[in-house]
Amino acid sequence: MIQLLRDWALVFSMLAGVSGYFLFAALPLGPEAHMIANGAVGFMQPALIFAMLFLTFCKVNPRALHLRPWHGRLLLIQGGLFSALALALVMMPVSGLRVVMEGAMLCLICPTATAAAVITRKLGGNLNDIITYTILINLLAALLVPLWVPFVHPAPGVSIGASAAMILGKVFPLLLLPLLSALGLRQFMPALHRRLEGWAGASFYLWVVALALAMAVTTRSMVHSTYGWTTQLWLGAISLICCAFQFIVGRRIGARWNDKITAGQALGQKNTVFAIWLGYTFFTPVTALAGGFYSVFHNVVNSLQLYRHAHPRR
């Protein structure tokens, strides 16, 4: 039973998030309780993102990190496609596909999940290579999101520069501060760093909790969305296409350097909690559904991979 829970932890987490939302919604609670719950989730999501990244980066030994040829190619794919979609939306401000294209942007620029290091290690990939890519894509996302989003989705009454600064102020602490904190701890408080380094595996279980919250938020968005089911289905379709595309392309590029597992996880497994938060905060809120759908797809892929790895065909 314990092994079953471990093999399918991500699927159980998603089911817990969906069922948890409906159970909470069915309780006879007043609007104040719902406001408190929304506030708690709004605080916990970025806090969990920070904690997952911090614990993962505590495991980082800068001397063990090396650039690989596939790193640059994957960064070019993510940054290039995100920028191309952003440019298209800037040039076509009125488009019936805007929401779907914004959803695709979220799926493409979203950094690698912190749990990807754990999944990659379990699948036999290279831990240091995926941590290196996680750092690189966090840097790229922290640069491109404030650069493009103010043009794609300008804030009313706020200048482009002020909007970019506001976005940078919210994105930087989530994506880069955990790395700087972990490196600073390694340098100035090595005893505490060694203790936290042993807890790096806890990032996977933090991800399980964060995933359940993300799925609850996504379910709430679907239930209360003012957009029709057609739009939501299109967001689900574009999420599936982006997920399949990134896993396949990542594995094929990585295979050239005998690192297909690591590259596939680096490009395909996303920090979808960040994508959902980013959609709610800076894009059309319904685009957060793209991150929720992507959570389903990439975690089903991961669960299947973990099961096949633990039970190889004979």
Model confidence band, residue 262 (pLDDT cutoffs 50, 70, 90): very high
- State the average pLDDT over residues 16-28: 88
Judged against a pLDDT cut of 80, whether residue 155 lies above it is answered with no
Share of the chain above pLDDT 70, in %: 96
Please classify residue 296 by burial: count the beta carbons closer than 10 Å to its beta carbon, then call 0-12 exposed, 13-18 middle and 19+ buried: buried
Pairwise CA distance, residues 297 & 208, whole Å: 15
Residue 31's pLDDT is 81
Report the pLDDT averaged over residues 171-193.
Answer: 87
Q: Which amino acid is at 56?
A: T
How far is it, in rounded angstroms, from Cα 300 to Cα 11? Answer: 7
What's the whole-number mean pLDDT along residues 60-79? Answer: 92
pLDDT for residue 228 is more than 80? no
Which of 31-40, 236-245, 301-310 has the highest mean predicted lDDT (pLDDT)?
A: 236-245
pTM: 0.84
pLDDT exceeds 90 at position 169: no
| Residue 175 near residue 53 (C-beta atoms within 8 A) | yes
- In the predicted model, is pLDDT for residue 10 greater than 80? no
